[in-house]
Chain A
Amino acid sequence: MAENYTTNQVRSGQKILIDGDPCVIIDVDLVKPGKGQAFTRVKFRNLNSGRVNERTFKSGESIQGADVLDTDMQYLYNDGEHWHFMDPNSYEQHQADKNIVADASKWLKEEDHCSVTLYNDAIIQVTPPMFVELAVVETEPGIRGDTAGTGGKNATLETGAVVRVPLFINAGEKLKLDTRTGDYVSRVKE
């Protein structure tokens, strides 16, 4: 069972239950009119819907914690409907559908590790590593000599993601990418 927090214990990053939904706190501030009752204003992201909201609690009230766990898992495969993940310690398998995997799917390569958020033992969020290494399967041939990296072109990666890369990149090369922005970082030497 998740612990509860009183208003003076809440901090950014904690997971709480709001109207039955697991949420992560993104900001906390004290609302205290000079002579009046103190309140704690909590800004949170709903982990199911992704929406950001605010709620004000009277100081001293308790806020229900959510049994939410961020854990490292290995991505196994996609059966067309579900993405399957495995806990590398317990070998327990979990699945998640398209709505949950969302944008993370374009960075997930079989056998790679990623961060999975579990609530009541079900996956509610999948976060790829900050940087991934993926091979280019298709792009216009590289322009030899253009090492300045000016301009750019599209490249399709082995996961299906399409990213902007410098002109000198060839199909078959492995690239390092920033999953937060989708930006090319560098070539990876084999």
Chain B
Amino acid sequence: MEVLQLRAGLLRRTRQFFDREGVLEVETPILGRATVTDPHIDSIPAGDGYLQTSPEFAMKRLLAAGSGSIFQITKAFRRGETGRRHNPEFTMLEWYRVGFDHHRLMDDVEALLHDLLDTGVSERHTYGATFRDYVGIDPHTAEARDLQSAAARMGVSVGAPTKLSREDWLNLLMAQVIEPRLGERAPVFVYDFPKELAALAKIRHEGGGLAERFELYFHGTELANGYHELTDAQEQRERFESDLALREMLGRETVEADPNLLAAIEAGLPDCSGVAVGFDRLVMIAAGKTSLDEVLSFPTSRA
């Protein structure tokens, strides 16, 4: 019951924050016709479509329609994600700021976090510097085998038959070696990702290409993921296609690229940055707990 009160208080303060900032609260469909093409996210089919894995596409359609800056607190669903810090149904706080780049959006996240968790000034490091500090390797140039030997050196033991790509090794090193050590005292933003990890972020053509993406870590937990959003319809289409090709190679079920999102970006998505915060993880940290089960009214095993 204490945790429920804590959650209610955090929700209230989040809404107050955005109200003060003049960011409009919106609702978009939880049950949508299309879903994401992310190679590593599985949607839960429902009715004629899918339970949404994030409100991102629908919110971008609102932005393209001229909504201005918007935020949403909603349930999101991802099949098969159950663990200490995962629940297949979870609460996501997502917002977009028109005219912001990813650095200004990090300022925004920092201000909200200060309101909610009374955190101090955050640290900000590039993805490259973070890897050099914790793994001793340049993540932008290292090849899969270099990352594999770095992982072995760091004591990460991976099941034998595994053949992992460069992206997989980067993600694994981040999750297993770096993440647990980030944000012990203050929140840590990691920004400017390798271009292969751009997801839906703009790529800046500098130093061989850097994705204008950031992640936020606090108490050894990934708490948020943000982008200076890709606004080029052609490039968006190409990323969908390469996602779908990878899905096929991995033997995942095929999905269709969302035509409504593509049409919206074609019509004109304003320059903006957006971020998604795992709200249950935020409650977990505020409550001083280490697993989501302790802060959900009914985790999936008892839902």
Contact = CB atoms under 8 A, between A and B. Distances in A.
Contacts of B86: 30, 32
B158 A37 contact: no
Interface in B147-197: 156-159, 161-162, 164, 167-168, 170-172, 174-176, 197
A111 interface: no
A36 B40 contact: yes
B297 interface: no
A54 B175 CA distance: 14
B80 interface: yes
Interface in A60-75: 61, 63
A8 B80 CA distance: 8
A29 B86 CA distance: 9
Contact of A33 (B84, B156, B159, B174): B174
Interface in B23-52: 38, 40-41
B162 A57 contact: yes
Contacts of B40: 32, 35-38
Interface string B206-223: 000000000100000010
Contact of B156 (A35, A56, A61): A56
B171 A33 contact: yes
B120 to A, nearest CB: 25
A38 B167 CA distance: 12
B83 A39 contact: no
B245 to A, nearest CB: 16
Contacts of B261: none
A34 B224 CA distance: 9
B81 interface: yes
Contact of A32 (B81, B156, B162): B81
A58 interface: yes
B82 interface: yes
B144 to A, nearest CB: 13
B197 A35 contact: yes
Interface in A1-55: 8, 29-39, 41, 53-55
A30 B90 CA distance: 15
Interface residues of A, number: 22
A31 B175 contact: yes
A32 B167 contact: no
B105 interface: no
A37 B172 contact: yes
A56 B81 contact: no
A57 B158 contact: yes
B168 A54 contact: no
A8 B300 CA distance: 15
A179 B149 CA distance: 44
A56 B83 contact: no
B199 A35 contact: yes
A39 B86 CA distance: 12
Top 4 A-B pairs ranked by shortest CB distance? Answer: A30-B83, A36-B171, A57-B159, A33-B171
Interface of A: 8, 29-39, 41, 53-59, 61, 63
29 contacts: A8-B80, A29-B84, A30-B84, A30-B85, A31-B83, A31-B175, A31-B176, A32-B81, A32-B83, A33-B171, A33-B174, A33-B222, A34-B222, A35-B38, A35-B40, A35-B171, A35-B199, A36-B40, A36-B167, A36-B168, A36-B171, A36-B172, A36-B175, A37-B40, A38-B40, A56-B172, A58-B164, A61-B159, A63-B159
Given A38-B80, A56-B172, 5 more contacts: A33-B171, A35-B41, A35-B225, A39-B176, A58-B159
